[in-house]
Amino acid sequence: MMRYRDIEYSLVQGLGRHLWKWSASVADAVITGQAHSKSAAVVEAEKAIDRALAPKKTPGGSAA
Span 37-63, pLDDT tens digits: 999 999 999 999 999 999 877 776 655
| Residue 31 pLDDT class (50, 70, 90 cuts) | very high
**Residue 58 falls within a domain, yes or no?**
no
Domain extent at residue 30 = 2-53
Identify the pLDDT of residue 42.
Answer: 98
Q: Give the CATH number for residue 13.
A: 3.30.160
**Residue 63 falls within a domain, yes or no?**
no
Identify the pLDDT of residue 44.
Answer: 98
**Residue 60 falls within a domain, yes or no?**
no
* Mean pLDDT over each residue of the chain, to the nearest integer: 90
Residue 19 has pLDDT above 90, yes or no: yes
State pTM to two decimals. 0.82
| DSSP per-residue codes, 2-61 | EEETTEEEEEEE-SSTT-EEEEEEETTEEEEEEESSHHHHHHHHHHHHHHHHSPPBPTTS
**Residue 62 falls within a domain, yes or no?**
no
**Residue 29 falls within a domain, yes or no?**
yes
**Residue 14 falls within a domain, yes or no?**
yes
